[in-house]
């Protein structure tokens, strides 16, 4: 298993990736932002200010490390547990909260479930709840890029639960046969909702499954951001140069519940969670940066406070934005609205006006 930074922050300089101090600090800021984003999201849902949330606490290194290897021409097919991918790609924090709140500023006009991202300007393809369907889409986009002679790469991230679905095997097989420029990134966070990984597969790892399809599979420490970056950068470079796909299995852990609708205490022990908290990717990377003299504890704390203040301000601003107009229920479906949909829309809007008038009269 590839590892650069140990749990205590010590590192092996022989395997360190070539990253500037500026890049390392950017990575730290992104990870701290995702951690704060998770805290805020859970708090807002419990207060009834948003309806649903899925946190990714403990998986920040995976999100930031893998997406930091992409360029503007590449395509991202993230999981609903990858807000960090959106941020690294350039999506404003305000757009993430718009999507979660489903307000009128949301690009999808409130039609998607919260944390099911879709941002066309940044080549982030829509997340869907079926956990493995994006893999086929990623392979298709990668095949199209190869066919056109483009140099773009598609990166798809997913949980280990997706590897039990038929789409996973179809995507892997097609990618292997046609050597498509795609990177499969499995965030093995140990649980597919309540199903532990030991009941997910009988193979010795997820990574080894790549051998059956004719390409490389590598297993890495998913709580080590530098290991994530190094392995993904190599896979992206291979794909871009025509070398075909790679399957990366990042060993990590979902510290929180599956979603705000789940109680993880039912299917896993407090001892297990505490064991994984000691491997916290954010604590590990912070120790690494301090050991190298790139940041001090005081500077790191100041960064956290600034992130918190900025995010609080954004949330308050986005909460003031009204929901989408009801007429948007009927738009953006057809290039030319069929007559029967137009009649339904007109009737709906007329009835809505009547209801409003009656309420006014009362």
In the structure encoding, which two tokens stand for residue 8, read together? Answer: 């205590």
CA distances (Å), origin 217, targets 68, 172, 243: 20, 11, 13
Whether residue 254 lies in the annotated active site:
yes
Angle among Cα 201, 57, 276 to the nearest 5 degrees reads: 60
Whether residue 267 lies in the annotated active site:
yes
Q: Which of the residues 254, 279, 284, 318 is marked catalytic?
A: 254
* Alpha carbon distance 156, 240 (integer Å): 15
Q: Which of the residues 111, 178, 267, 268 is marked catalytic?
A: 267
CA distances (Å), origin 16, targets 13, 202, 260, 262: 5, 33, 37, 38
The closest alpha carbon to 197, from 184, 186, 181, belongs to 186
Q: Which of the residues 137, 258, 279, 284 is marked catalytic?
A: 258
In the structure encoding, which two tokens stand for residue 253, read together? Answer: 């852990």
* Alpha carbon distance 97, 239 (integer Å): 33
* Crossing angle for the helix pair 281-291 and 225-240, to the nearest 10 degrees: 100
Angle among Cα 44, 48, 49 to the nearest 5 degrees reads: 55
Active site residues: 254, 258, 267
């Amino acid at each position: 298993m590839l590892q650069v930074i140990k749990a205590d922050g010590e590192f092996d300089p022989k395997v360190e990736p070539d990253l500037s101090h500026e890049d390392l600090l950017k990575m730290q800021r992104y990870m701290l932002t995702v951690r704060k984003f998770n805290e805020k999201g859970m708090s807002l849902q419990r207060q009834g200010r948003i309806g649903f949330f899925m946190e990714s606490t403990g998986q920040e290194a995976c999100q930031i490390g893998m997406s930091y290897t992409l360029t503007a021409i590449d395509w991202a097919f993230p999981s609903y547990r990858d807000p960090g991918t959106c941020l690294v790609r350039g999506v404003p924090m305000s757009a993430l909260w718009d999507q979660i709140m489903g307000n009128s500023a949301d690009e999808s006009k409130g039609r998607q479930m919260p944390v099911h991202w879709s941002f066309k300007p940044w080549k982030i393809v829509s997340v869907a709840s079926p956990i493995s369907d994006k893999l086929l889409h990623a392979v298709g986009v990668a095949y199209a890029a190869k066919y056109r002679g483009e140099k773009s790469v598609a990166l798809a991230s997913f949980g280990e639960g997706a590897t039990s679905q038929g789409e996973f095997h179809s995507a892997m097989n097609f990618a292997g046969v046609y050597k498509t420029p795609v990177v499969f990134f499995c965030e093995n966070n140990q649980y597919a909702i309540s199903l532990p990984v030991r009941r997910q597969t009988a193979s010795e790892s997820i990574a080894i499954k790549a051998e059956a399809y004719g390409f490389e599979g590598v297993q890495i420490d998913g709580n080590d951001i530098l290991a994530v970056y190094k392995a993904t950068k190599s896979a992206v470079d291979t794909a871009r140069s025509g070398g075909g796909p790679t399957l990366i299995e990042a060993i990590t852990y979902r510290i929180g519940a599956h979603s705000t609708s789940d109680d993880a205490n039912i299917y896993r022990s407090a001892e297990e969670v505490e064991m994984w908290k000691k491997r916290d990717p954010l604590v590990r990377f912070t120790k690494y940066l301090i050991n190298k003299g790139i940041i001090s504890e005081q500077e790191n704390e100041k960064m956290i406070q600034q992130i918190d203040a900025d995010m609080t301000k954004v949330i308050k601003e986005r909460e003031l934005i009204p929901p989408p107009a009801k007429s948007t229920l009927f738009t953006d479906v057809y290039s030319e609205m069929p007559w029967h949909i137009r009649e339904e829309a007109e009737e709906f809007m007329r009835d809505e006006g009547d209801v409003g008038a009656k309420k006014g009269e009362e």
